[in-house]
Amino acid sequence: MKASSSASLIIATRESALALWQAEHVRDRLQALYPDTRVTLLGMTTQGDQILDRPLAAIGGKGLFIKELEVAMEEGRADLAVHSLKDVPMDMPSGFALAAVAKREDPRDALVSSRYTALAQLPKGAVVGTSSLRREAQLRERYPHLVIEPLRGNVNTRLRKLDEGQYDAIILAAAGLIRLGFGARIAAFLDVEDSLPAVGQGALGLECRADRSDVIAALAPLIDSDTLLAVSAERAFSRALGGSCQTPLAAHAVRESNGGWWLRALLADREGREVMRGERRGEANSIPEAEALGLALADEFLTRGARRLLPT
């Protein structure tokens, strides 16, 4: 993008505290890159923010958090949108592109509780809140004595519900807590062996219209290559299995010390009665190679009978 005194960029964003932090973070980075460009935010309330009395899986999934932002871009009211990448559907809608993936924050899940510092400490009947079928399945598998209850709302609302005593503990993405300055509320980071993260968790996805080559060029410096390769492998795995909010599915890729990649994945039923795990190592120095790693692991899952765990 050739910045000029008359150039401007408008970022569409949800108005939750975390969404605003993410949009402001991207705004500040763009402003530093293009000091002559005016970068502003367009705050919006999405359908996903409005319906809080039902689980996401029951109302259409995380895509409800981004539809209104895409309409704003389609109508020319915004140039780009910033999302938590784990909220972005595996297949981008026609006419839109995932223009950049910014550097990932800690991708792990976090235990938040004022009384317990480990999941193993929670007694029989303790109530744990989570909004994720993925977390729910893994909790039920390892800790069948716990009571898992749905937890909706933004980060502040979820913490308030915990503090009011509605839950003994809640599980949230560590990245959101850290970004909002709530790192001290984390009682424990959950090892990925105990709670494999969601696809793209901790990463920021920057979306724009596919025909906006100027915006795509402007966002290119924000791309973190390792994060992009990791989430490309994760998203390819999920896409091949039709991953959605109705599917307890996880995938997490990391670069190893030898330069190769290690992709671990999980697919389960909601009750945690059947949990299929797998992993694959390989080279991935480009997006196609990273996606091939994810597809190969997905093929392995399908060969092992993964279709019986997928929604019909």
Q: What is the pLDDT of residues 266-284, one digit of tens each?
A: 999 888 899 999 999 999 9
Instruction: Flag whether pLDDT at 1 surpasses 60.
Output: no
Mean pLDDT, the chain, integer: 91
Mean pLDDT of 92-119: 96
* Catalytic residue IDs: 87
The per-residue pLDDT for 6 is 39
| Number of alpha helices (DSSP H) and beta strands (DSSP E) in the chain | 10, 13
Interval 89-115 mean pLDDT:
95
Mean pLDDT, range 17-40, rounded to an integer:
97
Mean pLDDT of all residues in 206-233? 97
Average pLDDT over residues 213-220: 97
**What are the φ/ψ torsions at residue 8 (nearest 5 degrees)?**
-150, 155
CA separation for the pair 73, 83 (Å, rounded): 14
Please tell me whether residue 262 adopts helix, strand or coil conformation: strand
Instruction: pLDDT band for 4, please (50, 70, 90 cuts).
Output: very low
Q: What is the pLDDT of residues 237-249, one digit of tens each?
A: 999 998 666 789 9
**pTM of the shown model:** 0.90
What pLDDT is stored for residue 244 in this prediction? 67
Question: Does the pLDDT of residue 3 top 90, yes or no?
Answer: no
Q: State mean pLDDT over 188-214.
A: 96
Residue 257 pLDDT greater than 80, yes or no:
yes
The candidate with the shortest Cα–Cα distance to 190, out of 121, 108, 128, 277, is 108
Q: What is the pLDDT of residue 52?
A: 46
| 59 confidence band (pLDDT: 50, 70, 90) | very low
- Report, as an integer, the average pLDDT of 67-74: 94
Q: Which one, of 175, 118, 178, lies nearest residue 143 by Cα? A: 118
User: Which H or E run contains 78?
Assistant: none
Rounded CA separation 268/190 (Å): 18
Of the listed ranges 25-29, 44-48, 91-95, 114-118, the least confidently predicted one is: 44-48
Report the pLDDT value the prediction gives residue 310, as an integer from 0 to 100.
Answer: 86
With a pLDDT cut of 90, the percent of the chain lying above it is: 82
- Alpha helices (runs of H) in the chain, residue ranges in sequence order: 17-33, 47-50, 56-59, 67-74, 133-142, 155-163, 174-179, 213-219, 225-240, 287-303
Please give the pLDDT value at position 47: 57
How many other β-carbons are positioned within 10 Å of the β-carbon of residue 309?
Answer: 19
* Whole-number pLDDT of residue 296: 98
The pLDDT, as a whole number, for residue 46 is 65
**Most confident of the following: 82-96, 217-231, 263-277:** 217-231
